Amino acid sequence: MAGAVPGAGNSSDQTDGPAPVQILDLTTSSGQATEVAQSGLDDAQTSTDSGSGDGTDAETSTPSAEEASSAGNGSSVRPAPASGTTSSVRHAFVQAAGAADAQFPSILPAATDPQADAALLTDPLEVDRFLVAGFTWTGGADLPEGVRIYLRVRENGTWSPWYLNEAADAGRDDRTTSGTGEFITGGADAIQASVVGGSLPAGLKLALVPSQPQGEEVLDADDLKTTEAPPTPVIEDAAMQPQAGRSGALESSAEPTGQSTSAVTAQSITPASFSTAETTARPASTVPAAVPAALPVATSANGLPVPVTTRAEWGANASYMSWDPDYASAGHVVVHHTAGTNNYSAGQSASIVRGIYYYHAVTLDWGDIGYNFLIDKYGTVFEGRSGSVAAPAGRMSVGAHARGVNTGTMGLSMMGDYSSVSPSDAQLSSVGKMAGWFLRRAGITDANGWAGLNVWTTERYQAGSTISMPRILGHRDVGYTSCPGNVGYSKLGTIRTIAQQQISGSGGWKAESGAWYYLKSDGAKATGWVTDAGNWYYLDASKGGAMATGWLRDGSSWYYLDGSKGGAMATGWVSDGGSWYYLKSDGALATGWVADAGRWYYLDASKGGAMATGWVSDGGSWYYLNSVGALATGWVADAGRWYYLDASKGGAMATGWLRDGSSWYYLGADGAMATGWVRGPEGWFYLDGSRGGAMATGWVSDG
């Protein structure tokens, strides 16, 4: 786990190296259920009724006999900290705000129970960590009549609700797609799949895509490890009605929602306690060896209204692409969402985009990612389909986001499931601005207008027909899908309002000579702190109002303005120059002890606030931080010797006699567990190395 984001064991973009896409076979080529696909059926009723267990496995390590006997008595020297000692004064504890408890979306009435009604049901299965999942089958694009596919996943030890996975009403116009849309996670390590319905699809597979996919691996049923999972709710979009394939009518209106929600606009507000800020490098005396440097600013080509992370910047693997860009005149925007848990971190977004790219290009055989642009819940925009950023005004690279109307539209996908929760303000702001940018370049002045849209394949409408559609519409308006979710769809009015402001040019972000500026409503360039769509930015007055990136000193505090996230002020964990730092909820760099997701970390002020690992001396006690910086408790082996970190004393290293379970142990002045003969005030004692260092009673043979 070296390099993992502290406090969020599966939230780092850097944690995972290349790994194969895992494939789980659920039915055979003739439509027969595999053994693994039926493994959970016998236990379905018991699992539903019991309501026990949370799928979390805990293990407490103690020294084994072999390890204890090889450790020896050791010396009386204190443990040498791996990265130097820290200040001897403990700073006030800081409760982390960057890892808020995830909340399930409100539960809509479920038509089915994925466990009790299952025709196929796997056991809860442990798998290698993945970020994107999807189901594929052989045959036509439609699932057999009445068939519904559900998936739930385990993230950070917690099982998600069951999610309905729809057949993808997307794909290239020149071929059919036999698969579901992508399902995104915040880094899942266990799954359970369910199929409800009488006629099973042939060749049904579940693909699990990691952050850096490389090749594929078919999972062997004999090698799969089962785990425990409690009953969880079912999430089904109310717009999805039970239907035969795609023959049932899906309730949606191609009319604007009529909302007049005002767009999120920037305010030139200086946060309390912020003074004149410095954008120079941090003083060498308080900075790590690698001075933080500004990250590459995302492209602003073609007058983009917000920074866009290009394919090169998020790491698109050219070998997966087999579909060259094809430009066509376009004047409509189709808004989408992805299925999934919404639990991803900002650091995972690029990895998720890579996973979606693989799933679309390789698994579904589209040859490229289907969306023109993807927008995460933090408002960061990623280029999708090749050629989208470089598209000439009034044209767009034809995608695979809405089969039948791919030509003539730009597809914007909000990363997350917005069936019953709302997209963030930052996300809506970026979606609206991108839509307005596109329409304005096409010479369209009314984001709330309607226009004819040509239909190229027979999906919801007849091929060859022209339908009147809003300039900005939802995927469900042109297909049999609930996308972009009920709540997401209700926000189209907000998106249109923001797009109209972008078209009208009333202030906002502007790229100029390679730098970003924020124009106030009177056209003047803002300086100082500015908030926009829930994020804070700093406009440097000494540079004419140019947006700052990298480390910023303001008063006595340091802040990090993340160039990879459009210059937004960072909060939570940040990796820079090989070290981890923690920014509090107000963006200020934390030092001292920090609690995050139930674990403690130490941010070393003498190392510029870098997260400590290894031994730390603080307030007269020794503490041990593991490889991901988390405070260890219980038994810890270090350099061949055992130590005990006492949870009842805040994780401080124990010395002297210690009772653990029913046995006594002796820890020297340096904390190392002793073995062999030890003299105490009441005589001699024998610490039995063959019994993990436990104190012996009764007869002992020695020598």
DSSP string over 158-210: EEPPEEEEPBPS-S-TTS---BBPPEEEEEEEEEEEEEESSSPPTT-EEEEE-
Using pLDDT thresholds of 50, 70 and 90, give the confidence band for residue 293: very low
Model confidence pLDDT, tens digit, residues 551-603: 999 999 999 999 888 899 999 999 999 999 999 999 999 999 999 989 999 99
Q: Which residue has the higher pLDDT, 66 or 590?
A: 590
Instruction: Please compute the mean of the pLDDT values over residues 604-622 and round it to a whole number.
Output: 96
Distance, CA of 593 to CA of 61 (rounded, Å) = 25
Instruction: Please compute the mean of the pLDDT values over residues 23-32 and round it to a whole number.
Output: 96
Q: What are the distances in angstroms from CA 62 to CA 577, 648, 661?
A: 35, 17, 10
The number of angstroms, rounded, from the C-alpha of 465 to the middle of its chain's C-alpha atoms is 40
pLDDT value of residue 86: 33
**Any idea which of 101-105, 183-187, 201-205, 223-227 has the lowest mean pLDDT?**
101-105
* Averaged pLDDT score across all residues of the chain: 82
Does 606 score more than 60 pLDDT? Answer: yes
Instruction: Please compute the mean of the pLDDT values over residues 224-246 and round it to a whole number.
Output: 69
Helix (H) or strand (E) holding 27: none
pLDDT value of residue 505: 78
Local structure of residue 691 (DSSP, 8 states): G
Instruction: Please compute the mean of the pLDDT values over residues 331-352 and round it to a whole number.
Output: 96
Does 137 score more than 80 pLDDT? Answer: yes
Model confidence pLDDT, tens digit, residues 394-439: 999 999 999 999 999 999 999 999 999 999 999 999 999 999 999 9
pLDDT value of residue 259: 32
Does 70 score more than 50 pLDDT? Answer: no
Residue 220 CB partners (closer than 8 Å, separation 6+): none
Using pLDDT thresholds of 50, 70 and 90, give the confidence band for residue 506: low
Helix (H) or strand (E) holding 110: none
Instruction: Please compute the mean of the pLDDT values over residues 373-398 and round it to a whole number.
Output: 97
pLDDT value of residue 450: 98
Distance, CA of 166 to CA of 479 (rounded, Å) = 12
Task: Count Cβ atoms within 10 A of the Cβ of residue 207 and give its class: 0-12 exposed, 13-18 middle, 19 or more buried.
Answer: buried
Distance, CA of 650 to CA of 623 (rounded, Å) = 9
Instruction: Please compute the mean of the pLDDT values over residues 331-357 and round it to a whole number.
Output: 96
What's the chain's length in residues? 703
**Any idea which of 64-73, 519-528, 568-577 has the lowest mean pLDDT?**
64-73
Distance, CA of 37 to CA of 334 (rounded, Å) = 36
Instruction: Please compute the mean of the pLDDT values over residues 83-109 and round it to a whole number.
Output: 32
Using pLDDT thresholds of 50, 70 and 90, give the confidence band for residue 444: very high
Q: Can you tell me whether residue 29 is helix, strand or coil?
A: coil
Does 103 score more than 80 pLDDT? Answer: no
Instruction: Please compute the mean of the pLDDT values over residues 25-48 and round it to a whole number.
Output: 86
Is residue 664 a contact partner of residue 657, using CB atoms and an 8 Å limit? yes
pLDDT value of residue 698: 84
pLDDT value of residue 241: 39
Percentage of the chain surpassing pLDDT 70? 79
Task: Count Cβ atoms within 10 A of the Cβ of residue 44 and give its class: 0-12 exposed, 13-18 middle, 19 or more buried.
Answer: middle
Q: 308-309 and 381-383: which strand pairing?
A: parallel
Using pLDDT thresholds of 50, 70 and 90, give the confidence band for residue 111: low
Quick one: tokens of 528? 């100082």
Does 84 score more than 50 pLDDT? Answer: no
pLDDT value of residue 446: 97
Is residue 360 a contact partner of residue 366, using CB atoms and an 8 Å limit? yes
Does 239 score more than 50 pLDDT? Answer: no
pLDDT value of residue 343: 95
Which domains, from first to last, does the chain contain?
A: 19-56+106-235 (no CATH), 318-509 (3.40.80.10)
pLDDT value of residue 300: 60
Instruction: Please compute the mean of the pLDDT values over residues 275-283 and round it to a whole number.
Output: 34
Helix (H) or strand (E) holding 48: helix 44-50
Instruction: Please compute the mean of the pLDDT values over residues 306-315 and round it to a whole number.
Output: 94
Does 508 score more than 60 pLDDT? Answer: yes
Using pLDDT thresholds of 50, 70 and 90, give the confidence band for residue 514: confident
Model confidence pLDDT, tens digit, residues 155-210: 999 999 999 999 998 999 888 889 999 999 999 999 999 999 988 999 999 999 99
Model confidence pLDDT, tens digit, residues 638-671: 999 999 999 999 999 999 999 999 999 999 999 9
Using pLDDT thresholds of 50, 70 and 90, give the confidence band for residue 51: very low
pLDDT value of residue 299: 66
Instruction: Please compute the mean of the pLDDT values over residues 5-29 and round it to a whole number.
Output: 72
